[in-house]
A and B are shown apart, each in its own frame.
Chain A
Amino acid sequence: DAGITQSPRHKVTETGTPVTLRCHQTENHRYMYWYRQDPGHGLRLIHYSYGVKDTDKGEVSDGYSVSRSKTEDFLLTLESATSSQTSVYFCAISESGGGYTFGSGTRLTVV
């Protein structure tokens, strides 16, 4: 999707290892979000950011941390990956009052 990219697109990792997913935007939007998508659960918010170094927890934040050291990058870290964190992760961006633009997603498998 134009203006927002996620990396990597796919990753397989072992239980207990740290994993970092990256979201990069070129739109200079204030708000950035990390969601996970699982069958039967739709999209659930993990963490979000409303500015550089300003972040807050979402609905399913346990086991995840985030950082936003500059406007364009929002990193999601799994400190010690577990099988329950196998999922598709989506980053999104927005401006105040607007809807979201989504990245293409990262498919993470924890074995």
Chain B
Amino acid sequence: AQSVAQPEDQVNVAEGNPLTVKCTYSVSGNPYLFWYVQYPNRGLQFLLKYITGDNLVKGSYGFEAEFNKSQTSFHLKKPSALVSDSALYFCAVRDWGLNAGNMLTFGGGTRLMVKP
């Protein structure tokens, strides 16, 4: 079985400061990892993904994420937060080998609040 944990329900950060949104995962095989963002009254939008290769992946809106296999983590980061980054963030995982339905498992979500 695959699972995702986002240990923080909410992260508060001041505009201009760096931000981190945490994610840990569990899969049987090799993971596909994803971050999505949801703005109010909208669907989820893709931010970035890790499949193989460089452990630091860059995505939309200046976000990046670091894959750490030994810690089974995939934390989302941004060097300088903007008020407009305030939204709900979801981490998701898919197991390469055992997932005939191509299904992603999502974490519970972390609300990011960036204050001016």
Chain A interfacial positions (CB closer than 8 Å to B): 1, 30-31, 33, 35, 40-43, 45, 48, 50, 56, 58, 90, 92, 94-105
**When the two chains form their complex, are residues B108 and A41 in contact, meaning their CB atoms are under 8 A apart?**
yes
**When the two chains form their complex, are residues B100 and A40 in contact, meaning their CB atoms are under 8 A apart?**
no
Question: Which B residues touch A104, using CB under 8 A?
Answer: 42-43
Within the complex, the shortest CB–CB distance from B68 to chain A, in Å, comes to 20
User: Number of B interface residues, CB 8 Å?
Assistant: 22
- Whether A101 contacts B46 in the complex (CB less than 8 A), given A41-B108, A42-B109, comes out as yes
Question: Which B residues touch A103, using CB under 8 A?
Answer: 43
**When the two chains form their complex, are residues A48 and B103 in contact, meaning their CB atoms are under 8 A apart?**
yes
Give 11 pairs: A residue, B residue, CB < 8 Å, sorted on A.
Answer: A35-B106, A42-B106, A43-B90, A43-B106, A58-B103, A96-B102, A98-B102, A100-B104, A103-B43, A104-B42, A104-B43
**When the two chains form their complex, are residues A99 and B101 in contact, meaning their CB atoms are under 8 A apart?**
no
In angstroms, Cα B4 to Cα A31, docked, is 21
B107 CB-CB contact with A under 8 Å: yes
Secondary structure class of chain B's binding surface, majority of residues: loop
Given pairs A40-B108, A99-B92, A100-B36, 12 additional interface contacts (CB within 8 A): A30-B102, A31-B102, A42-B109, A50-B100, A50-B102, A97-B32, A98-B102, A99-B34, A100-B104, A102-B36, A102-B43, A105-B42
Q: Restricting to B37-73, which residues have a CB under 8 Å from any CB of A?
A: 41-46, 49, 51
**When the two chains form their complex, are residues A42 and B101 in contact, meaning their CB atoms are under 8 A apart?**
no
Q: Which residue of B lies closest to A40 (CB)?
A: B108
In angstroms, Cα B32 to Cα A99, docked, is 9
